[in-house]
Structure 1
Amino acid sequence: MSVHQFFVLRPNGENIPLDCYKGNVLLIVNTATKCGLAPQFNGLEKLYQDYKDNGFTVLGFPCNQFMGQEPVSNDEMEEACKLDFGVTFPLFAKVRVNGRNAAPLYKYLKKEQKGILSSEIKWNFTKFLVDKEGKVICRYGPNVVPEKIEEDIRKLLVD
């Protein structure tokens, strides 16, 4: 199994197969525009801009499960990410990352890379690094800023 077997929804409702990202290194992140960690959008965008031409993509999955920090519609969220944070990397429709109704992609990510003490996502901006074949390589907690992941991304891009 790999992340390439999943389908996800764009904010406009379009169903996207993740296999369209085969051959790319991915950083999958649950985001929230009203979160105190939202300045990480800037670091995520910088990584995307610096490495997108080398086969790297950030995939943002907004989530409202943590203190209601993504309370707006998918359209409003996408607009806020573009206007407030300059985000150009792909954003998807809001998802649940924990619980029975968690998105299948997130159930898979958590199974492949468990967190400390449990597999549940603890907060916004948890990040999963995925190699070119769709294998989940590493999980980073919300406090790990994007800049700290850059070396791991570079290593996967040259493999």
Structure 2
Amino acid sequence: MVDERIALCRGCRVGDRSCRFGADLFNATSPEEGVAFVQCPADFDGGPEVAHGGWIAGVFDDVLGRFLTHRGVKSVTATLSVSFLMPVPVARPLILRTRVLSREGRRITMAGALRLEGEHQDRATAEGVWVERRPDHFERHRAQMSADRPDTP
């Protein structure tokens, strides 16, 4: 078992901020799997003491993509499908497990499962495809967005 600490993403490394998704503790347990210890902040509730579905989808996207980044793969999310199985409580310790399912060329299929610490049943699961970025990825996006802007006087 590998115990490799995974660092915060670029957005949360600025200043003294902690992870905006509550995923401050993240370990790679093998080259294909990882585990993040997360906690939904209380202000991300979608109902009384229940995590908002957007937070759940966001934390899956962040943690699964971050796992690839720290494995040396710079990628962007192509698809993400989340299954909401049970309510996810806010302000309680959660475990999010990541796993690489397959890799075909630049496309990597990932899966994740979120459960309350100490429980043995998943509260939410996700599966998605990440695409390894080409070196000019962001330049192509900027050019496209500039072309899409209407001219303003």
TM-score by length of 2: 0.26
Higher strand share: 2
Looking at CA atoms only, which structure, 1 or 2, has the larger radius of gyration? 2
TM-score by length of 1: 0.25
Higher helix share: 1
